[in-house]
Structure 1
């Protein structure tokens, strides 16, 4: 039995990733922040297909909640083998000034460190990010997304710094970065802030990855025995022409 914990798994990429892992035979923990009914529907979807899943509420910026989630995962399934760091944020209205940093950097590292303590050799952590964040600093970033991009890049860098230590324990780190993903809440919020952005980006790149296309790459990174430490999905230019 292999057990995976997927953060932000009640919708979008997280949900598609969790369902994809369950279809491959993994037991899955559906992490969510505040939409229990939505998370429960993902669990029901997995169980209806014959898989095993449980939903656990935890705001990743709350250390006690994260510790409780990891402990419950091990209590429910007896182990933890895969961690998919999918949850992110920073575009929410009225969020504290440091929220993006706390969620996209500090919380990611805290959860990864806790997970590694539970994993045995062969464990894996997958950090899900965007090209705007992964290539942050290489050129212009969408102004509306800049705080998120900077904080996610900081989170990626912090995890990469820890990767050698994780590797000593037999746990590998893979980063999966994607272009603007069609159908995600982030894309919708950015398009709302800058009307026409999605169509403009689609015209520039030729296409935009869908939620299912991108999630399939996250699933592959989570399961493969030895994938590249970096997987790029969609257009890979650091700075799209604008």
Structure 2
């Protein structure tokens, strides 16, 4: 049934539309306004869903009083943490110590038990039966723990040598074999320093046949060292 009066939209007041909708006896609404109303309803529903998914943030209340805001010195200072106690040290994971590297220092002399020991000195050694043997120091060395050791050369007695346990006569001994492995100075006892150039020779154990210089005297023997 056609309308007698011209049709006007309640929202946009347009008079032309392909489709009209009644608004509960208040009037009519055009097709474009109906579509806009549906779109607005859809967007409102999406916003409500997003707000429901977000967690509710707890509102923080400031408990700072009026006095502390005026005087900042009244604010409690932060406690400075102390260092870790001794109990905390034992709870740490153990760290592997570095491996000790054996280092030896060689030299021509050492101080051992208040004595000045140098290369060429005569030392004595004793075995299990308390038999005495005499050696000469060829080299000295000290390790990283201050343990002093010496490379020795054995002195062999002859028929003219006195009993080794009683005394030592350097003129009656000959130079014997040399050891490759050093011995600790704790097992040795000092007898005397190098008695002559014969024992000091480094290149050969025997004196030169034709000496270059004439000393003006003939060296035969020196006094023997008696053991107490």
Name the structure, 1 or 2, with higher relative contact order (CA <8 Å, separation 6+): 1
Q: Aligning the two structures, in what range does the TM-score lie when normalised by the shorter sequence?
A: under 0.3
Q: TM-score, normalised by structure 1?
A: 0.21
Larger-Rg structure: 2
Q: Greater share of helix residues, 1 or 2?
A: 1
Q: Which has the higher strand share?
A: 2
TM-score by length of 2: 0.22
